[in-house]
Amino acid sequence: MNLEELLKSNTLPSKDNLTDAELVKLFRKYKGLLKEQERDRAFWAATNENLKIAYEKLDEKERELAKAYGIIQEDLSVASQIQEALLPELLDTMEVELDLAVYNKQLAEVGGDYYDFFKTNSGRYAVGVFDISGHGVSAALVMTYLKAQFMLIMERLESPKKIVEWINNISYAFLKTIKKYATVNFVVFDRDKFRYVCGGGFGMLLSGGESHLFKKGDPFLGLRTKPFHEYELPFKKNDVLVLYTDGMVEAQNDKNEDYSVKRLNQMIIKNAGKPVKDILKLCLNDYRNFRSKDSDDITLIILRKKV
């Protein structure tokens, strides 16, 4: 039996089986296998050490990411509280004259849907509903910027057309630079009527059994420096005014069907005789039963003239 045959068999080698030359060859092969084993052990030891270091670094990065995420979540929580604090309280004059129901929900912790109540320089009041493009922190920051601009100009102007045009002209370059824009629905109330500007928002007046949709067609804030149009409608006791953004009407069900402006308006018209808080609740229930998930920030304001 030669060396190759011996290595293929399970027989233990002996001097009787092998020549001296084959024993030397076997010894050298054995030594070679030992060296190969040592190299493999060294390789796997180094690999294990590298893996250990990599896992330690990964754990460290995960801790850093967790810490950073915690800071971001804390900042977003504070930002959400700030944005909520910036939402308006009902003005005294409005409380006397109006019943009001509001639903405002951001898709993320903070967002770009924004509504506000303003006091005009003549002592009357105004309501604005805005939808800043995008979601999240950037939209919320633009919201804060626009709020400051409106608060500034309300002390100087009375006409909704002039107010919105001033806001658009002063904000246009900034909004264009950051590639943001905002829909605007701005209503200034007199005692027996209101005047409005509608640049991309949605509005409807219910009066005497008839519905009047807001005239649209004006540009969004930050898209063009074109003149806006001002419209006027009578507003008397028991009339209902509805203002909203596109968050509800563009939400879809499992069949990719939109909730739609038509469906929301019909719900409001059908229940117009109920208290505004009940109308709001019925609309939200219908919406939630329809849509598969929220896909945008949502603002819906329903108000009724009491006097």
Name the residue ranges covered by the structural domains of the chain.
Answer: 19-86, 87-305
Q: Tokens at residue 21, please?
A: 């030359």
pLDDT at site 181: 95
Choice between 23 and 147, residue whose per-residue pLDDT is larger: 147
pLDDT above 70 coverage of the chain, percent? 93
User: Residue 240's closest CA among 294, 304, 162, 191?
Assistant: 304
pLDDT tens column, 151-206: 999 989 999 999 999 999 999 999 999 999 999 999 999 999 999 999 998 999 99
Which are the contacts of 153, defined by CB distance < 8 A and separation ≥ 6? 163, 166, 167
DSSP per-residue codes, 66-120: HHHHHHHHHHHHHHHHHHHHHSPPPPHHHHHHEEEEEEEE-SSSS-SEEEEEEE-
pLDDT at site 254: 95
pLDDT at site 18: 66
Lowest mean pLDDT among 215-224, 230-239, 272-281: 215-224
At 13 the three-state DSSP class reads coil
Cα distance between residue 260 and residue 244, in whole Å = 12
pLDDT at site 286: 98
**CA 235 to centroid of chain Cα atoms:** 34
pLDDT at site 1: 55
User: Residue 303's closest CA among 239, 256, 246?
Assistant: 239
Does the model's pTM come out above 0.95? no
pLDDT surpassing 60 at residue 74: yes
pLDDT surpassing 70 at residue 2: no
Report residue 33's pLDDT band, with 50, 70 and 90 as the boundaries.
Answer: confident
pLDDT at site 5: 66
**Cα→Cα distances 94→89, 98, 140, 188, 255, Å:** 10, 5, 26, 12, 41
pLDDT tens column, 115-136: 999 999 888 999 999 999 988 8
Q: By the 8 A CB rule, do 235 and 194 touch?
A: yes
**Cα→Cα distances 46→14, 38, 59, 60, 259, Å:** 38, 12, 20, 21, 61
pLDDT surpassing 60 at residue 150: yes
Lowest mean pLDDT among 1-10, 64-73, 86-95, 247-256: 1-10
Lateral strand order in the sheet of 202-207: 98-105, 298-305, 240-244, 202-207, 210-213
87-305 folds as Phosphatase 2c; domain 1 (3.60.40)
pLDDT tens column, 229-245: 999 999 999 999 999 99
pLDDT surpassing 90 at residue 278: yes
Cα distance between residue 67 and residue 212, in whole Å = 53
pLDDT at site 86: 72
pLDDT surpassing 70 at residue 16: no
Most confidently modeled range among 12-16, 165-169, 214-218: 165-169
pLDDT at site 164: 97
Q: What is the mean pLDDT of the chain?
A: 90
